[in-house]
Structure 1
Amino acid sequence: MENTTDFIRYPTLKGAQSVSGIWFPTQWFNSKQRRRLLIQYYFLGCEIYQFEKGDLLTFPSERMLYCERLEGWPLIYQNGLLCSTKLPKTNSQQLPQADLLLIIGNHISTYYFNDAVNVDPSLWVDLDGYQLLETKSYTINDTYDVLPDLIIESKSMTQIFDDKIPSPSPKLIEFIEQKKQNKKNVEQQISKQNIKFKPCSQRRESRIWLLCIAIFSILFLFSSIVTQNENLFFELEDNAYALKIVLVFIAFLVFIFIKFKSIIELLKLIKGIKQSVISDKIVVKSSAYFAKKLDDNPQNNKANYAQIANNTHSMTYRVNSLVRSQSTVNGGKLDEMMSIKDGIANIVPIVNPSNDIPERRKNHNRKPSRWRKYLSLFSIVSKLSHLIAFQQGNYIETMMKKFEQGNLEDALRYAIPLGADSDSKGQAFGVPKPRNKLSLSESVYGNSSSINLDEKLYQHLQSLYRQSFEKLAKENKVEQAVFVLVELLNNLQEGLEFLEERKLYKQAMELAIARDADPEYIVKLCCLANDWHKAIMIARRDNIFANAILILEKTNQQLANKLRLEWTNTLAEKAEWLAAIDTIWPLTQYRHLAEKWFNYVDPLNPKAIVKRFILKPDDALDKLEDSLSIIKNTPSYYQKRLDIAQEIIAQQHVENLKSLLCVLINHIVLDAVTYPNTLTKFDIARLIAFTQDQSIRVDIPISSLASLKLVRPCPLFECTTLQHISCPEVGHRAIYSMVVLTDDRYLLALGQAGMIIVDRTGKQLTHFMIAADKLIISDNKMQVLALAKCGDYYRIHKIDLSTKKTLDLGIIKFQHCHEEFDGINWTIINNNYIEVIDISSKLSVVWRVDLSPNQIEQIARNESDELYLTLTPNNEFEEFHYSRSNRYLTHRGNIDIEPGVNKIAISKKQGVLFFKYDKASQRILFKPRNYRFYQYKEIPLNLSQEQFDTMGILSIDCLAILQVKRLNELGSDIYFYHYLSNSFKMVIDWHSSDPFSIFCSMNECCLFDKQGRGLHINVNENKVTLLSI
């Protein structure tokens, strides 16, 4: 349909616009050109419509594009239709109802999707020249903008005990209201009582006497001067101004004297606090009532206190809500205090706080609040500490009276929890108030401050709480008894055991999760409560299957066997077949799985060969006859023979390995003196003795081993000569990513051409028809994640290299990721969140932490920790170290950048590395941050300022890899710098103008580019492999 109109002032789009589609008219492009452009601009979710006068490409959502740079005609979505220009709002009602509106001059052309042909672009691809294999369907089912959390519901304390703890009584509410009305009278009474308890020490009396003596001496001196000069008095009397001067001078002398003494006393106090001679804590001491109660029955007290005689104590209470104080106490000696953890001491893990596992408590102490320390010091100097201690003591006295009167309900509302091994914000200056409801603290005393007690008073409180618990337990008041154990005595383990004894497994499980108990014990309680989903998730997250099974075996062997079976399945998912075989072997009814998993392992794997001889010695020699023959008769398999020897030496019971040793012992001894290895002469002698074969002892007498000269391996960083390596020749296929597998094999990502496994000569062994731009390898090198980038998203496939099975995990969005994972959990960086993803069958987040407002700049991963280098809003660097095992924050610290430092890099083993450029010498100065007294070293390499600015820096082991571009010619030089010896160990000449990539693991480094070149360096073995694909 065409109309004629003249109301369009600007019929085309210009500049950056939110484009929703592109029109390719037949007048501009022929059919081949249109098809090429459609493929060029096509991405996931687009639709193609072919009309008579052109082809239309529609986007699934608007994209910000520059109209002048597009080869087609940009379209925007306006007023419910695609349009080639912006329409005036006043004339929008005049437009016809259509799907596409094109304006050419003063002509309007309208099109309808029903008149077009919807084209599938996949039909344009000719696959006749490609080898197609039968594979699973790779239809995209899951696209994640935000990954779902792997949820473990954590109920509140009220839900755990079903509101069985009673609400406050009317008498208590009336009492609280009365206390509020009589607040002024109470304060007056406290101030009067405080006078009676005011100490008057000899030091204070001596200070007063010294002041009196000084004033008297000044007055006596002044009177003697007056008597000697009688005219002076009359002169002063006549001159009032001079008299004032004299009096002000005398007052000034007195003030200086008092100030001087106060400063001296304050300095002595500060020195005593630093030397731990004097405490800076306000201590609640025993009043007359306390002393009477503590001395009433010393024998009973001694018996009750025997179990805690070596504890240090202090008392803390929550200060975030003084109106409904849920108080906490830890007891302490006069000069010591154990504190309570604050809720957020540093950046802490957050995993859907409403219904997931609560945040773990920190395993490091939190420093007390500085202002509280200074205020406490001021109160001690000014004697306000006596008033504070008296008010806190009065509250404790009221609480103790209620316990002794037998009114447990009201007494427990006044009770202050005892704390231990926790952090605190510092000294408390207020007075706790009775809680409105008996409930367990959700945050484990977060945001708490301390009330300090002497040891006897603390022990008496602990005895009262213990007696209350025993009384409640005898009356079968389980909820109140657990409240006393967990909240007041701060004994979570005993509280969980108390619930477990009464077979309240579900309540115990929920309480353990909420209070972040030991994960092994949580898994045990989940199994007892028949909640296997939570048990498996926690065990997988913290890798604590073995410890949990040991705990369960003591009480319930059936549940322990079931958990062992789940552990086996988890190991099988990670392709750790030998570990899975070890785990399943005690369950005789499942040993058939072990035989199945043996078939997944490489038949030439040394560990698998030794494992089969140990577990199945009867048929091992027959089943492995071919494998042993290959290993024995192939000279290049010397490393496999040496690995078998190492595995045998590591075993405690070698009776079943005699036949294996007899087959290989001669070749092992020959390999030990021919190839680099770590065997010792004592190891070789043990191997010969293990065979118990007299003929072998005759052929290789032990006495002859003394003259053997064993070959020792020489890592790259121990080499004394500089190695020069040239990059490989140009290949025919672009390499997007490269990782190292076992047995001198490599996995290469070829983009849309899939992935291939090649040997050290470049020969293709296996081909996977899965698009991949980036590879993430597991620690055991048996699994890999293939990432194909599509805009800001990545499509992820998981490939098991032992079984050749693949799994489509969906599409997710992230910015950075670790290039290695443990087989189950993989860490990504998404919008400044560190997210640990469970990739077993479906992507889900098991742990998350937000480092905002810091921006993550660099990441690294070693055997124990994950390292993150971040940039603060103040442009300062800060590093975070998280443990891989339990995800605790093990270290957090600011990085002080010295003047002149131009580059910093993060190393997997050495932490942060500093580099700066010296213009005078045109050399690089280097220093590792971990070495505190390490001076900057001058790297023996001359560079220009431009080369230093464009230099790339990586790290592997104790080597720094410097990528330096050449100035006047094509290519780059890659230097392997050993900073401990301040020397270069290897230089790689990469004579190509095309960019290249480097992947570094713990002791291996791969270099590759899109010209088919690949280079592998094994740092430990000092081996270099060149590939051309």
Structure 2
Amino acid sequence: MENTTDFIRSPTLKGTQAVAGIWFPTHWFDNERRRRLVIKYYFLGCEIYQFEQGDLLKFPTEKTLHCEQLEGWPLIYQNGLLCSTKLSKIDNRQFYQADLLLITGNHISTYYFSDAVNIDPSLWVDLNDYPLLETKSYSLNSIYQALPELIIESKSMAQIFDGKIPSPSPKLMAFIEQEKQKAEQSPPKQNVTSKPPCKWSESKLWLLCIVIFLVLFLFFYIAKQSRNLLFELEDSTYVLKVVFLFIVFLFSVFINIKLVIELFKLIKDRKQGINSNKIVVKPSLYCAKKLDDGLQNNKDRYVQTSNHTYSTYCVDNIEPSQFISFNGQLDDQVSSKNSIANTTSIANHTNSIPERRHNHNRKPSRWRNYLSLFSMVLKLDRLIAFRQSHYLETMIKKFEKGNLEDALRYAIPLGANNDSTTQSFGTPKPRNKLSLSESVYSNSFNIYLDKKFHQYLQSLYLQSFEKLAKENKTEQAVYVLVELLNNLQEGLAFLEERKLYKQAMELAIARDADPEQIVKLCCLANDWDKAIMIARRDNIFANAILILEKTNQQVANKLRLEWANTLAEKAEWLAAIDAIWPLTQYRHLAEQWFNYVDPLNPKAIVKRFILKPGDALDKLEDSLAIIKNTPNYYQKRLDIAQEIIAQQKYAESLKSLLGVLINAIVLDVVTYPNTLTTVDIARLIAFTQDQSTRVDIPISSLASLKLVKPCSLVESTITQYYRCPEVGHRAIYSMVALTDDRYLLALGQAGIIIVDHTSKQRAHFMIAADKLVISDNKMQVLALAECGDYYRIHKVDLSTKKTVDLGIIKFQRCHDEFDGINWTIINNNCIEVIDISTKLSVVWRVDLSPNQIEQIARNQNDEMYLTLTPNDEIEEFHYSRSNHYLTYRDNVDIEQGLSKIASSKNQGVLLFKYDKASQRIQFKPRNYRYHQYNEIPLNVSQEQFDTMGILSVDYLTILVIKRLNDPACDIYFYHYLSNSFKMIIDWHSSDQLSIFCGINECCLFDKHGRGLHINVNENKVTSLSI
């Protein structure tokens, strides 16, 4: 080795080079500093050689690095030698036995590995001062075999009113049975309400008789002309039988033709809306007289009481009739359960919330529609209408006699306008007891009434309610309102006025009232646990508070406090501050929550100026100075401008903030991509109320400004090409993007780390994690560690750095995002919404069996599920995220040649075909129903198509296609409407690629420490090497 003493400070290698090692000379760094630098750049596979003149870090493979950013002397390979520069003019054959060449000035120094000491860096780490912590327990006794339920069945109406509605006396029931037997034994009276046969029907009947007579006359005339035939007729009974059968045949043919014609005519009129297949019950002679008298006498009274507090009983018209609902026997009304999408509930659970009902209206069965048409053709509808009219006549007589208790047992509920109801062909029976039905008549049988008849029954029920209300018979009055008049809201208001809050709450739960109404009644009934659980489940705190503030400000304030605490639990600090600010005695919590927000957060800065304009400028002086003077914080300045425009009604409080940043904002607008307009800039200048600013930046000059508008990846017209990042030395199991160019990485048993866009570590959580589930505001994360078929779950608050161990549960699939409180998992084909506040508990569940859930997706409004039916059909379900209602359900048509189906967040179901002739992929999103299949401009083999991975981000479809005879793959970002690739990524890795897709961003990573983040909105790509 040739020693040299004239080391130069600036190595000759510049720019980006394929670096094979780094030299740390003793003249530059002391011993401790060299060790720190070696550890900093060390990764798996590196070798360390310690010479007297310095330390050498040798990479296992060349790594592309920027030489000026290295804190050592970069080295490259030259003919198998590590060199500090390129040896283009020097014959390096004389140095072939050396391992390292360092060129300093005019001197060349050679080094041999045999002269160095091979160092193991693990010997440099002293573990004596590190405490040994006990590892997490994964014992079976901490596993949730079944999550605790926060779902219960609603109480029956008899339990709600605690048996206060009396049962009928035995004497009364015996009398009713005697009257029923007499009515059955007595011959039925002629139905005076039946419509007499019209002239058209009579003419058809006479025409039939004339045709039969002419046929007989013609037959006997021919017989007289032939004596042989007459002789046979006189002597043969066989011929007479033939004549008789011939007449019967002609008659039956005529009747069948008539029935078919009438049936098709009714069906045609039904489709055109001319006639209906509903059997309309008209009043009998007695009822008709009472109806005319009653409506005439009560006309003015009915109009007056329509403005009464409890008389909004109008039922939507069903032309030409209205209907009343019953289920055979009136006291056997129970809610039907759907075979699919049926909720499961656990009763009698402490601190439980009510089950969300799924009384989705069914369409009437087709055979009942046809049966109605046949009954009309055969004129059987008159008999059905007569029997039902007789029952209603009996009911009306009981009402008029004033025997309300008996009359109410005969009363039939008035249904709402519902196309899913089914025609009744039977006659209802009186109730055995007065009890509110738990069904909302979604699948009831119905009797259709004449419009005047319906109004008369409505007035009778109204009179009964008023009489019961005056007699303080609250339960019976509510029964009339809710059951007979089908008016839940007025029934709840009636109970609320009498301060029967508990009964009103349970009635609202049983009838599945609006969640806001249920929360309000739970608060008034002092059942706060149930109120908060429902409000958290459906996210309806704000609406419930608005309702409560009208009647009870104190209760509304208490609910507001719970709302603020819930928002704080979700790490939505600014929203929590807004919620609690009206409560002056709790503003100290708002100040505490301000401390959890990033001091450079644009929304937090604007919020503080709005809420505390007096001292905001002093408290935020340092933060504003950093934002103003840091060039890379242009996006924060633009976000502050956007927030000020959104909050312009507080312009007076924000003028001091604008005075500090207005010049920098105007400069950013013409320099960086943004969505501000010249009108917005003029408005911001006006908000400052500073004359000098208006002089420096005159509004007249704004028209000439050239604003830089953003261009998203979807709008880009040029295909962008990228290569995967360089290999790192830490395996990445999961990756999600945070705010401010930060990223959260799961490293398996090594824990969770937060890194910035330069791959520099910013925080470390010692929690084992194989998968990350990020909250919508990116302030909380669920860390999932796989334990066989189970997952151990930790919740991490990234703002407070607090972690909570939620336990171990079993599930098959889950959504990759959650709202901060509610998280959706898939367990045995059940969709379960879990409250993850402090412990795991199910707040909503729906079972899609026998369908098999195959794919799931989630966007800003809905959660989508692709399922496979037992008949190998694809069925699609959409559930609203806000209230978990089923918003859409449909079968996916399997077209000929369809090979692949995938789910997308914004495009719905994606359909793929493969054309063997052209070796091209044909693609169409199912949401674009009137578009054709696009042929993707890419040739792939059948094998590549079969193994192709499909994902989506925004309105781009991601195709992951493996190369033939190569472990690497290519990732294509395809846009359907433009039929073009927006981005192509070359991922040359032998390890499996993983992709996390958000709504407008995606992360690509593998277990070689490589990560790539793509922001579709900003058209920005960030590479990480961990």
Superposition TM-score tier, normalisation by shorter sequence: 0.7 to 0.9
Out of 724, 727, 736, which is 1:730 matched to?
Answer: 727
Task: State the TM-score, normalized to the length of structure 2.
Answer: 0.83
Show CA shifts across 1:983-1005 (max 9, x none). Answer: 11111100011101000000000
Please list, as runs of the form range in 1=range in 2, the aligned pairs for 1:459-474 lying within 5 A after superposition.
Answer: 459-474=455-470
Per the alignment, residue 848 of structure 1 pairs with 845
Partner residue of 2:986 out of 986, 989, 1008: 989
Tell me how far 1:831 sits from its aligned partner.
1.2
Q: Secondary structure at 2:950's aligned position in 1?
A: strand
Aligned partner (choices 661, 665, 672) of residue 664 of structure 1: 661
Other-structure match for 1:877:
874
Matched to 2:922, the amino acid is L
Q: Work out whether 1:648 is the aligned partner of 2:644.
A: yes
State how far apart, in whole Å, the 2-side matches of 1:636 and 1:546 are. Answer: 38
Query: In the TM superposition, what is the alpha-carbon distance from 1:247 to its structure 2 partner?
Result: 6.8
Match of 1:348 in 2: 342
Residue 828 of structure 2, aligned match among 823, 828, 831: 831
3-state DSSP of counterpart to 2:428: coil
Is the 2:773–2:781 contact (alpha carbons within 8 Å) kept by the matching residues of 1? yes
* Residue of structure 1 aligned with 2:787, choices 786, 790, 807: 790
Change (3 A) 1:561 1:263: same
Does 1:864 find its partner at 2:869? no
Residue equivalent to 2:943: 946
Q: In structure 2, what residue type is equivalent to 1:749? A: A
Contact 2:772 2:781 (C-alpha < 8 Å) held by counterparts? yes
- Check the 8 A contact 1:951/1:964 in 2, yes or no: yes
Does the 8 Å contact 2:722/2:984 carry over to 1?
yes
Shift of 1:312: 1.2
**Distance (whole Å) between structure 1 residues aligned to residue 430 and residue 236 of structure 2:** 67
Deviations 1:342-396 (A, max 9, x none): 5538513333266665554558643112121111111111111111111111111
Query: Structure 1 residue aligned with 2:1006, among 1009, 1014, 1019?
Result: 1009
**CA displacement 1:372-429 (0-9 Å, x = unmatched):** 1111111111111111111111111111111111111111111111121446441011
- Structure 2 CA distance for partners of 1:992 and 1:525, relative to 1, 3 Å: same
275, 294, 316: which one pairs with 1:311? 316
Per mean C-alpha deviation after superposition, the further-off stretch among 914-923 and 225-234 is 225-234
CA distances 1:652-707 after superposition (whole Å, capped 9, x unpaired): 22111111111111111111111111111111111111111111111111111111
Name 2:957's counterpart in structure 1. 960
State the match for 1:414 in structure 2: 410
Are the aligned partners of 2:907 and 2:925 in contact in 1 as well (CA < 8 Å)?
Answer: yes
> 1:604/1:572 Cα in 2 relative to 1: closer, same or farther (>3 Å)?
same
Name the residue aligned to 1:281. 278
How many pairs align? 887
Q: Which residue of 2 aligns with 1:143?
A: 143
Would the aligned equivalents of 2:353 and 2:534 in 1 still touch at CA under 8 Å?
no
CA distance in 1, matches of 2:152, 2:554: 24
Letter in 2 for 1:150: L
State whether structure 2 residue 431 is matched by structure 1 residue 435. Answer: yes
Mapped to 2, the partners of 1:415 and 1:259 lie a distance apart of 41
Aligned 8 A contact 1:739 1:747 in 2: yes
Q: Does 1:524 align with 2:520?
A: yes
Q: Which moved more, 1:239-248 or 1:806-815?
A: 239-248
What letter matches 1:506 in structure 2? K
Q: Distance in 1 between the 2:706 and 2:477 partners?
A: 72
Distance 2:505 2:424 in 1: 34
- Conserved in 2, the CA contact under 8 Å of 1:856 and 1:869? yes
Q: How does 1:681-692 map to 2 (within 5 A)?
A: 681-692=678-689
One-letter code aligned to 1:528: L
User: 1:179: how far off?
Assistant: 5.6
Looking at structure 2, the residues matched to 458 and 678 of structure 1 have their Cα atoms a distance apart, in angstroms, of 59
CA distance in structure 1 between the partners assigned to 2:800 and 2:134 by the alignment:
14
The answer to whether the Cα contact below 8 Å between 2:732 and 2:746 also exists between their aligned partners in 1 is yes
- 1:479 counterpart = 2:487: no
The corresponding residue for 1:10 is: none
* Structure 1 counterpart of 2:296, one-letter code: Q
Question: Can you give the 5+ residue segments of structure 1 that lack an aligned partner in the other structure?
Answer: 1-125, 329-340
Structure 1: how far apart are the matches of 2:131 and 2:708?
A: 47
* Displacement after TM superposition at 1:239 (Å): 9.1
Q: 1:90 maps to what in 2?
A: none
Cα gap change, 1:996 to 1:415, in 2 (>3 Å): same
1:973 aligns with 2:981: no
For the Cα contact (< 8 Å) 1:739–1:746, is it kept in 2?
yes
Deviation at 1:213, TM superposition (A): 2.7
Alignment CA distance shift 1:719-1:214 (3 Å): same
Alpha carbons of structure 1 residues 875 and 720: separation in structure 2 relative to 1, 3 Å:
same
The letter of the residue matching 2:343 is: P
User: What's the offset of the Cα at 1:865?
Assistant: 0.6
Counterpart CA distance in 2 for 1:934 and 1:1025 is 35
Asked if structure 2 preserves the Cα contact closer than 8 Å seen for 1:826 and 1:839, the reply is yes
Q: Is the 8 A contact 2:152 2:355 kept in 1?
A: no
Quote the offset at 1:248 in angstroms: 5.8
Match of 2:165, as an amino acid? Answer: I
CA distance in 2, matches of 1:448, 1:133: 70
SS in 2 for 1:717: coil
Change (3 A) 1:249 1:166: closer
Give the conservation status (yes or no) of the 8 Å contact 2:191–2:284: no
Are 1:500 and 2:496 counterparts?
Answer: yes
Deviations 1:969-1020 (A, max 9, x none): 2300011110111111111100011101000000000000110000000011
2:588 matches 1:592: yes
User: Offset at 1:325?
Assistant: 4.0
Residue 261 of structure 1 deviates from its aligned partner by 3.0
- Provide the C-alpha distance between the structure 2 equivalents of 1:136 and 1:425, rounded to a whole number of angstroms: 64
Q: Structure 1 residue 137: deviation in Å?
A: 9.4
C-alpha separation in 2, matches of 1:361 and 1:638: 50
Off by >6 Å, runs of 4+ in structure 1: 133-137, 226-232, 234-247
Are the structure 2 counterparts of residues 151 and 895 from structure 1 closer, same or farther at C-alpha, using a change threshold of 3 Å?
closer
Mapped to 2, the partners of 1:578 and 1:196 lie a distance apart of: 69
TM-score, reference length from structure 1:
0.83
Whether the aligned pair in 2 keeps the contact of 1:343 and 1:447 (CA below 8 Å) is: no
1:718-777 Cα offsets, whole Å, 9 max, x none, are 111111110000001000000010000000000010000000010000000111110000
> CA–CA distance in 2 between the matches of 1:246 and 1:526?
81
Residue 424 and residue 304 in structure 1: after superposition, are their counterparts in 2 closer, same or farther (change >3 A)?
farther
- Residue 133 of structure 1, CA deviation: 8.3
1:451 aligns with 2:447: yes
Q: Which residue of 1 aligns with 2:613?
A: 617
Distance 2:819 2:615 in 1: 33
How far does residue 316 in structure 1 lie from its aligned partner after superposition? 3.7
SS of the residue aligned with 2:1003? strand
Q: How far, CA to CA, are the matches of 1:173 and 1:239 in structure 2?
A: 65
Distance 2:343 2:907 in 1: 25
Displacement of 1:852 in angstroms is 0.6
Q: Distance in 2 between matches of 1:680 and 1:505?
A: 54
SS in 2 for 1:618: coil
1:720 matches 2:714: no
Query: Aligned partners of 1:198 and 1:801: how far apart in 2?
Result: 77
Alpha-carbon offset, residue 860 of structure 1: 0.5
Give me the identity figure in percent: 75
Judging changes above 3 Å, is the alpha-carbon distance between structure 1 residues 970 and 743 closer, same or farther for their aligned structure 2 residues?
same
Question: Which AA in structure 2 matches 1:386?
Answer: R
Map of 2:40 onto structure 1: none
Task: Provide the residue aligned with 2:804 in structure 1.
Answer: 807
Deviation, 1:466, is 1.2
Structure 1 contact 301–460 (Cα < 8 Å) conserved: no
| CA distance in 2: counterparts of 1:218 and 1:304, whole angstroms | 64
What is the CA deviation profile of residues 837-875 of structure 1, one whole-angstrom value per residue up to 9, with x for unaligned ones? 001111100001111111100000011111000011111
Moved more, 129-138 or 277-286: 129-138
Say whether residues 1:400 and 2:399 are aligned partners. Answer: no
1:860 and 1:514 map into 2 onto residues whose CA distance is: 32
Counterpart of 2:379 in structure 1 is: 383
The answer on whether the counterparts of 1:417 and 1:487 sit within 8 Å (CA) in structure 2 is: yes
